[in-house]
Structure 1
């Protein structure tokens, strides 16, 4: 099987792309093991920075997430509240469908396949906004958690499912929404984790048909041969991550680890929105516009 080097971001060294993409898959496994809360969201910008364009990145991530979901559901088998998941499904389905139309709109607005770099910019900015919002949602969740209460009804379930499905289709970032919904019900830890695991497996499975249809009918590079080839190279990092996550549970300070991840998610979100100069005051390596190649002196590379 061909190495995925031709799918990597040409503005970054190949080794860095491997670290970003492999680390992304590893963090998916960590999050599916229940370590660090919603840290899996950082996997999205990491894969985006590693891959040639954003559509390929989110396409590669979907099967990796589903592999992690299978491990997670297997580990927490029947420890879920099925009624809670049923309440989420109608809104989730509508949110996924509208999210798929939003992906198509971003693609067409930028000129479609003929202008992939430009059409990716729309998606990149949307993902940047979602990642940045995730950080503030996590801060809000931490503040509200002790006194947060939410009754599971068709109304709350449908609304939560809709927003989760929409953001998940665009950027695989439904975690904070579902976490807030489940935290408000004061579930015991095993039921909380098991219900989340079942939801993510169903939610990601529902996203699969729209991704395939957008690839086949609209020509969008989401789940094409390139995405499948890249996914096969990185899929083994997911079970490694789940094993590592189980090992880290009682050895690493989860709160500190999650806070570090939040900082990186915020920086990544701002960068995806084109605000890298605000964050660091200079162009980041992956912000090359492709019209010029930065020359590196031999001494600087050694």
Structure 2
């Protein structure tokens, strides 16, 4: 019996680079390029279908990222982040069928670009205090919500974590663990919403070998890059993500 997977080459033309970028982001630049995956795939399929196809790939990428950075998590920080992230996923699950994914994309894009503009136009001083915890809680809930809706949880939480100036490896490890928990929590709601059908899962299986390739590239970069270039690349990723999400939000289809 043939699996009912997607066979349109236009889909794979955008899905392959999307999966590679997502793999790199899971192990090296969690705030940047990975959030482009769903918007890029949405050029060929709907946003919910793109999100569903990426679920098995995210699980494998998360496990590989955890293995690569298993000694570098900031567990105290994670105990603060994870509960708020899970609140966001619950909100996303409850509102999923009533929300227009383009509106969510546009909102995330606007806030991503505003954060980036603030960081570049008014760079923080070395002795600047970290953002207050209530801001972190709000941004982490937003991250869980946007992660559920469009796997775009990177920009909101990065707006909180980047000013904390963690080392590249600790930043990457902590984000890897956070999104492992968040992505794992989405499986039951995605099944409840009917998104994990045989066609989407079969397509995921075809794309699955690309997952370790992207993670391997990201791990090598994260462990060798200087903090200055690490955050510069994060900003580039956030710029591209913000522009693409904003475009998705305002474009008429």
TM-score of the alignment, normalized to the shorter chain, above 0.5: yes
- Please name the residue that 2:206 is paired with: 233
* Correspondence 1:149 to 2:150: no
Cα distance in 2 between the residues matched to 1:4 and 1:20: 16
1:67 is displaced (CA, Å) by 1.6
CA displacement 1:154-203 (0-9 Å, x = unmatched): x4553333121111111211212222333333433332221111111111
Structure 1 position 193 matched with structure 2 position 146: no
Tell me, which stretches of 5 or more residues in structure 1 are unaligned? 7-13, 107-121, 216-221, 277-286, 288-302
Answering whether residue 3 of structure 2 is matched by residue 2 of structure 1, we say: yes
Q: Would the alpha carbon gap of residues 144 and 199 (structure 1) be closer, same or farther in structure 2, given more than 3 Å must change?
A: farther
Larger Rg computed on CA atoms: 1
Q: Once the 2 structures are TM-superposed, how far is the Cα of residue 25 of structure 1 from its aligned partner? A: 0.7
Tell me which residue corresponds to 1:125. 103
Kept after mapping to 2: 8 A contact 1:64/1:238: yes
Match of 2:156 among 165, 174, 177: 177
Aligned positions of 1:50-89 closer than 5 A: 50-51=44-45, 53-89=46-82
Whether 1:167 aligns to 2:146 is yes
Answer whether contact 1:89 1:158 (CA < 8 A) is retained: no
**Deviation of residue 81 (structure 1)?**
1.3
Distance 1:189 1:259, change over 3 A: closer
What RMSD in Å do the two structures reach over aligned CA positions?
3.0
After superposition, residues 10-29 of structure 1 pair within 5 angstroms as: 14-29=8-23
Distance 1:195 1:263 in 2: 22
Note closer, same or farther for the CA distance 1:179–1:271 as it changes in structure 2 (3 Å cut): closer
Q: Say which SS state the counterpart of residue 49 (structure 1) adopts.
A: coil
Name stretches of at least 5 consecutive residues in structure 2 with no aligned partner: none
Decide which of 97, 100, 116 is 2:93's aligned counterpart: 100
Partner Cα distance (1:192, 1:259) in 2: 14
Shift of 1:69: 1.1
Q: How many residues align?
A: 246
Q: Classify 1:270/1:163 alpha carbon distance in 2 versus 1 (closer, same or farther; 3 Å).
A: closer
Aligned with residue 268 of structure 1, among 227, 244, 249? 244
Which is bigger in relative contact order (C-alpha 8 A, separation at least 6)? 2
- Between 1:180-189 and 1:166-175, the stretch displaced more is 180-189
Cα displacement string for residues 13-71 of structure 1 (whole angstroms, at most 9, x for unaligned residues): x33321201111111111122048521111111111122x2211111122222221111
Does the 8 Å CA contact 1:131/1:173 hold for their aligned counterparts? Answer: no
TM-score, structure 1 as length reference: 0.70
Q: Does 1:202 align with 2:181?
A: yes
Q: Which moved more, 1:163-172 or 1:138-147?
A: 138-147
Offset at residue 86 of structure 1 (A): 1.1
Q: Is the 8 A contact 2:88 2:141 kept in 1?
A: yes
Query: 1:232–1:157: structure 2 CA closer, same or farther, 3 Å change rule?
Result: same
Q: What is the DSSP-based 3-state SS (H/G/I as helix, E as strand, rest coil) of the residue aligned with 2:164? A: coil
Deviations 1:197-231 (A, max 9, x none): 1111111111222112222xxxxxx2222221111
